[in-house]
Amino acid sequence: MSQALHPMLNIAVKAARSAGAIINRASLDLDLLRISSKGPNDFVSEVDQAAEQIIIETLLTAYPGHGILAEESGRTHGAKDSDYVWIIDPLDGTTNFLHGFPVYAVSIALAFRGQVQQAVVYDPTRNDMFYASKGRGSFLNDKRLRASKRTRLSDALIGTGFPFRKGDNFKRYVQMFEEVMQSCAGLRRPGAAALDLCYVAAGYYDGFFETGLNPWDIAAGSLIITEAGGLIGNFTGEADYLYQREVVAGNPKVYGQLVQILAPYTRAIKADEPGASATAAAEAHAGLTPEAALAATQAEPPKKRGAVRIRKADAARDDDAPL
């Protein structure tokens, strides 16, 4: 990385590399790992915990006044009321990692008053560092990233993630899957959402969608996409996706076409309409043209929200508006 990085991004890169070193060492001795289950098909290993610990240590040594929101430890570290909150997934793709399937990543984002400002996603098996600072573009190692130029969904390669936890709505997902699959050139599911989002930014995918994601899965990737000229939102094309547990991303043209397909499947309830149901929100957007969907995502969302909330909150979050 030859260009000068923002000091906070520099620290995030250092933290990601340290976590990556722990993950790479552990990948050589997978049989020795202690693994516990958070729920059916949802695992955490001592590697997740060790990687998270080194990341938090590195960040708080540099910025002791900052807050932390991390997958394994929630909000137990850092300053609880800081405007600056680091959003961390120490090992996105744990199931892949535990099987030796080499698609997993470290994801670190810094949000200031709910808006992501710095982002790093590190793929330790390929030594690939994706990163972005707000307003300064996004990069893979030293190469500037640009979203793809394909305009038709029928030509597009789309990434997704399957639901895997007990209680996930599989039937709803299968309907979405079927509709998107029949509309695009191909569908892929490698199993690490943070990397999937970076692949949209790099133009490997033309679009991506998934349900059931947490803020730490998508915070870093969201900035990397927008800084590469892509769009990201919830299924109705709005910018309050971080806590909505549904996300769609893509280059502007493909994004609009995906929103048109996915809007009827939304579960998001608009924050400014407390009485609105998910069904009503879907019906309101279901007839959008790609152009209208694109316009919807660029519209200024309501700015009522305060600091980033703890992980169990499902409230909407705008992390896309300019400072």
Residue 259, domain extent: 153-298
Question: Is 216 found in the same domain as 81?
Answer: no
Average pLDDT over residues 286-290: 36
Higher-pLDDT residue of 90, 285: 90
Question: Is 163 found in the same domain as 106?
Answer: no
Question: Is 159 found in the same domain as 78?
Answer: no
Question: Is 293 found in the same domain as 161?
Answer: yes
- Into how many domains does the chain fold? 2
Residue 276 placed within a domain: yes
Question: Is 208 found in the same domain as 256?
Answer: yes
Residue 19 placed within a domain: yes
Residue 45 placed within a domain: yes
Higher-pLDDT residue of 319, 175: 175
Question: Is 139 found in the same domain as 159?
Answer: no
What CATH number is given to the structural domain containing 42? 3.30.540.10
Model confidence pLDDT, tens digit, residues 13-28: 999 999 999 999 999 9
Question: Is 251 found in the same domain as 164?
Answer: yes
Question: Is 212 found in the same domain as 276?
Answer: yes
User: Considering the entire predicted model, what is its pTM?
Assistant: 0.81
- Residue 320's pLDDT is 35
Question: Is 214 found in the same domain as 123?
Answer: no
Residue 320 placed within a domain: no
Question: Is 82 found in the same domain as 187?
Answer: no
Residue 172 placed within a domain: yes
Question: Is 24 found in the same domain as 129?
Answer: yes
Model confidence pLDDT, tens digit, residues 161-171: 987 666 667 88
Residue 132 placed within a domain: yes
Residue 286 placed within a domain: yes
Give the 3-state secondary structure of the chain: CCCCCCHHHHHHHHHHHHHHHHHHHHHCCHHHCCEEEEECCEEEEHHHHHHHHHHHHHHHHHCCCCEEEECCCECCCECCCCCEEEEEEEEECHHHHHHCCCCCEEEEEEEECCEEEEEEEEECCCCEEEEEECCCCEEECCEECCCCCCCCHHHCEEEECCCCCCCCCHHHHHHHHHHHHCCCCEEECCCCHHHHHHHHHHCCCCEEEEECCCHHHHHHHHHHHHCCCCEEECCCCCCCCCCCCEEEEECHHHHHHHHHHHHHHCCCCCCCCCCCCHHHHHHHHCCCCHHHHHHHHHCCCCCCCCCCCCCCCCCCCCCCCCC
